[in-house]
Structure 1
Amino acid sequence: MTWQEALSDYRHYLKIERGLSTNTQQNYIRDVKKLIAFLGANDLGDTPVDIEKETVRQFVYEVAKTMNPSSQSRIISGLKSFFNYLVFENYRKDHPLDLIESPKTGRKLPDTLSEAEINAVINAIDLSKPQGERNRAMLETLYGCGLRVSELINLKISDLYFEEDFINVIGKGDKQRFVPISTVNKKYIDIYRKEIRIHQHIQKGFEDTLFLNRRGKKLTRAMLFTIVKDLAEKVGLQKRVSPHTFRHSFATHLLQNGADLRAIQQMLGHESITTTEIYFHVDRSDLKRVMNEFHPRKPSSV
């Protein structure tokens, strides 16, 4: 079995059996390609079936010299998944990473913006330009519905159920969920649709795509990142801001205002409640409020 054959089979497995998104598939494949590049650079002819533990450990050692613990952990996790697949399919009998542990990275807390910072970024949008109304509608939707980047750029007009105050979102692994949408959010989407988008020349195949670029096609992830980055710089934010920051802020502000963690989990489309629990970091003083308000031995007023 060659590396290319193994990667082809592995990609099929990630897509069909694990139901992973295209971006996630690419990340897993990229981890394996780093190992392949290491073998090529060192004139090693090991195949996926016969590569030995010592060779993989040497690769991990080389990675450790040039990457931070988080990146090291990412690659080790990706390689473990790949070799788990090979063992599962009986291509290999042993696992070359079974004794290699990922470095301790700690739990990375998501960056968030305050409500005032969210408003400042959105208010910095130049509405005198046609794309201004589109950008406002997009950022309001990122923050108002807590969407991932891929979920926003793939949002369809047919996914909008405004009479029921919901939108249909296709998340990771093509999993569907319905997310509530506010009156304010609906207003800005309607302004964009009825005043800007209606006048665009829309390319064939993108008639149902909600947010379009100037050429009448779906926006790219890179374009959305650029829009957010430019606005953050424009208002002078001293934070690393990305479209995902709006999603983190959505969850953080809901939790701060008393929303149920399970409800937030459903709106974000997290499979595990553990993923959502990371937002508990946002305001530990709120835990004190909850204790004083709901514990049976709470302080009583005299």
Structure 2
Amino acid sequence: MQSKQMNLDNLMADTDSYLRKLQYSDQTIAAYHSAWNHLAEFMSETGKALYSAHTGEAFAYDMIEKHNGYGNLSQYEKYIIQCVNVLTEFLENGTVKFRRGKIFRSLTGSIGSLMKDYVSYKKDLGVSEETVDGYRYHLGTFLLYLNDHGIVTVEGITPDIIIDYADTTVFASQNVQHMNLCIVKRFLKYLYDTGKLSKEVSHTVPKSKRVRQPKLPSTYSRDEISSMKDAVDRSSPKGKRDYAMLLLTARLGLRTSDVCELKFREIDWERNRISIIQEKTREPLELPLLPEVGEAIIDYIRYGRPVSELPYIFLHVNSPYDRLNRSTLHSIVCQYMRRAGISFEKECHHGPHALRHSLAALLLEKKTPLPVISEVLGHRNTESTRYYLRIDIISMKQCMLDVPPVNPHFYGKGGEADV
């Protein structure tokens, strides 16, 4: 994947304009510019003419390595890195997330340099920034172990070292241990495949003991979802926004990311259709704009949405009026579940995805064909939709067989079987 590049002055001007649309104060924007000036100096010293995500990352790691680790940076230096992250995010996505934070793992030394090469390799393959941060975190943990044991070159990573390191991960949760060992294994395989490691040692990375137990999708009844919608105070701007978002999730089954990313141009009011490119699968999805949903969106746009030139429909209630993120929508759903008196167990999902599960359960209850449900939920194929068949209790009962009667001679006197 080709990394986006842009003249730094132009990028700073465009980001400045975007932040002003979000109603950031002049003082805050001036602080951003002050931080960006440090980046400009770095680019001038290193002879870089255009800014890219790789440039911002190089700047951050240069600062981190000069101070021997992220933890040794001052609060202002961490703020400078955060401001550079803003430029990168606007360059890559055209937006800036609200309350964004990012901590860099210190990948230093010979092995750390190879780890950074591997992370860049994964980024070029198109993995998400969240996944990239996970790679940095887990590789950083492995690097700390190697440094503590005096391993400074990849040739020092022997099977014994790998096994000893794996033993230290048993104190983590099964999911964290599994992810950590998988990433280390892939990194070592990458080193061997690219000729940076002479011996193939990735096969010596032990398998984690994680056992994935199939969980039933968490669902809520039609009455519970109705009571949750009734719990929304639709007289306030926040209530109008929350109600429309709940309907998009519960009535149309949109994923959280797609609700938060919904834009004006994706709604065809004349045809009463919603047409999006799904954030998770990058596949197109077209759904009917149900009257109840459409009226709720219109009510929010007319009487609840802050004045903003942003293309996103749903924005924060308070300044800066940026688009919402997934964690915010999760909190919104939980808030109205509690307000409606809906109880849920600790293991039971109770966020927006549970409403999506509930829609699937309702469609199954109505005998909707599996391919239709798959199309509504935006699955690539029906295999993903089969996951919901386990909650179709009515259909499963129809598959039950009567237990044949036991021959009376099977039992002996006293209730014991004859032998």
TM-score grouping bracket, smaller chain normalisation: 0.7 to 0.9
Instruction: For structure 1, list consecutive stretches of 5 or more residues without a partner in the other structure.
Output: 293-302
TM-score, length-scaled by structure 2: 0.59
1:228 aligns with 2:353: no
Q: How does 1:286-297 map to 2 (within 5 A)?
A: 286-289=395-398
Aligned residue among 346, 367, 383 for 1:258: 367
Contact 1:153 1:211 in 2 (8 A): yes
Distance 1:54 1:272 in 2: 43
Contact between 1:157 and 1:208, CA under 8 Å: does it hold in 2?
Answer: yes
- Checking the alignment, whether the CA contact within 8 Å between 1:122 and 1:136 is kept in structure 2 is yes
Aligned to 2:240: 133
Alignment counterpart, residue 160 of structure 1, candidates 267, 273, 295: 267
Instruction: Assess if the C-alpha contact under 8 Å between 2:248 and 2:254 holds in 1.
Output: yes
Percent pairwise identity: 25
From 121, 124, 127, the counterpart of 2:231: 124
* 1:208 correspondence with 2:311: yes
Larger Rg: 2
Alpha-carbon shift at residue 266 of structure 1 (Å): 3.6
Residue type at the aligned position of 1:222: S
Paired residues in the alignment total 284
Specify whether residues 115 and 274 from structure 1 end up closer, same or farther in structure 2 by C-alpha distance, changes over 3 A only.
same
Structure-to-structure mapping, 1:1-302, within 5 angstroms: 2=110, 4-17=112-125, 19-39=126-146, 42-45=148-151, 50-67=156-173, 69-92=174-197, 93-97=199-203, 100-102=206-208, 103-162=210-269, 163-172=271-280, 174-197=282-305, 200-202=306-308, 207-214=310-317, 215=319, 216-239=321-344, 240-271=349-380, 273-289=382-398
Q: Give distance in 2, aligned partners of 1:194 and 1:149.
A: 23
Q: Which amino acid aligns with 2:163?
A: R
Cα deviation 1:81-116 (Å, max 9, x = unaligned): 444444444434524255633422222333222222
Kept in 1, the 8 Å contact 2:228–2:336? The answer is yes
Q: Larger relative CO (CA 8 A, sep 6+): 1 or 2?
A: 1
Q: Is the 8 A contact 1:142 1:243 kept in 2?
A: yes
Amino acid at match of 1:234: R
| Alpha-carbon spacing, 1:70–1:166, altered in 2? closer, same or farther (3 Å) | same
Measure, in 2, the Cα distance between the counterparts of 1:164 and 1:61.
57
Shift of residue 46, structure 1, vs aligned partner? 5.1
User: 8 Å contact 2:315–2:323 — kept in the other structure?
Assistant: yes
Secondary structure of 1:110's match?
A: coil
Offset from partner CA, 1:158-188 (integer Å, 9 cap, x none): 1112415233133226443333432222221
Cα deviation digits, residues 198-241 of structure 1 (max 9, x gap): xx232xxx521111002221112232222222222222332241
Letter in 1 for 2:256: V
State the AA in 2 paired with 1:186: G
Helix, strand or coil for the counterpart of 2:276?
strand
Asked if the contact 2:360/2:388 (under 8 Å) is kept, the reply is yes
Q: Which moved more, 1:91-100 or 1:142-151?
A: 91-100
The code of the aligned residue for 1:274 comes to E
Question: CA RMSD of the aligned region, Å?
Answer: 3.1
Instruction: Extract unaligned runs of 5+ from structure 2.
Output: 1-108, 402-419
